[in-house]
Structure 1
Amino acid sequence: MAAALAENNGSDVVNLDSVFWMPGGYNQKRSEEQVAIAIEEIKQSSDWVVEGVFGALIEPLVECADMMIYLDFQWQDCYEALLSRGSESSKQLDPEAADANFQALLTWASQYEHRHNKNSREFHQRLYQSFEKDKYRLLNRNDVNQFVKDFGASI
Structure 2
Amino acid sequence: MNLAKTLVIGNSGSGKSWLSEQLAESLGCAWLDLDLLHWEPGGYNVARKREDVLALAREAASADFWIIEGIYGWIVSELLSTATALIWVRIDESECVANIEQRGIRRGACAQSFAELLQWAKSYRARSGSSSYAAHDAIFRSFARAKHCLQTRDEVTAFAGVGQLRAD
Fold agreement, TM-score > 0.5: yes
The question of 1:116 aligning with 2:128 is answered yes
Match 1:131 to one of 136, 143, 152? 143
Structure 1 equivalent of residue 98 of structure 2:
80
CA contact (8 A) 2:91 2:152 kept: yes
Structure 1 residue 60: deviation in Å? 0.7
Structure 1 residue 33: deviation in Å? 2.5
CA contact (8 A) 2:105 2:111 kept: yes
CA contact (8 A) 1:77 1:140 kept: no
Structure with higher RCO (Cα < 8 A, 6+ apart): 2
The question of 1:107 aligning with 2:119 is answered yes
Structure 2 equivalent of residue 61 of structure 1:
79
In terms of Rg, which structure is larger?
1
For residues 42-89 of structure 1, what are the alpha-carbon distances to aligned partners after superposition, in whole Å with 9 as ceiling and x for unaligned?
221111101111111111111111111101111111111111111114
Gap runs ≥5 in structure 1: none
| Greater than 6 Å deviation, 4+ residue runs | none
Structure with greater proportional helix content: 1
Secondary structure of 1:101 counterpart: helix
Identity %: 29
CA distance in 2, matches of 1:50, 1:86: 23
CA contact (8 A) 1:68 1:128 kept: yes
In the alignment of these two chains, the number of paired residues is 147
Structure 2 equivalent of residue 147 of structure 1:
159
Structure 1 residue 28: deviation in Å? 0.8
Gap runs ≥5 in structure 2: 1-18
Structure 1 equivalent of residue 13 of structure 2:
none
Structure 1 residue 7: deviation in Å? 0.8
CA contact (8 A) 2:90 2:151 kept: yes
Secondary structure of 2:161 counterpart: helix
CA distance in 2, matches of 1:4, 1:33: 30
CA distance in 1, matches of 2:113, 2:36: 16
CA distance in 1, matches of 2:73, 2:93: 18
Q: Which amino acid aligns with 1:140?
A: T
Secondary structure of 1:14 counterpart: strand
Q: So what's the TM-score if we normalise by structure 2? A: 0.84
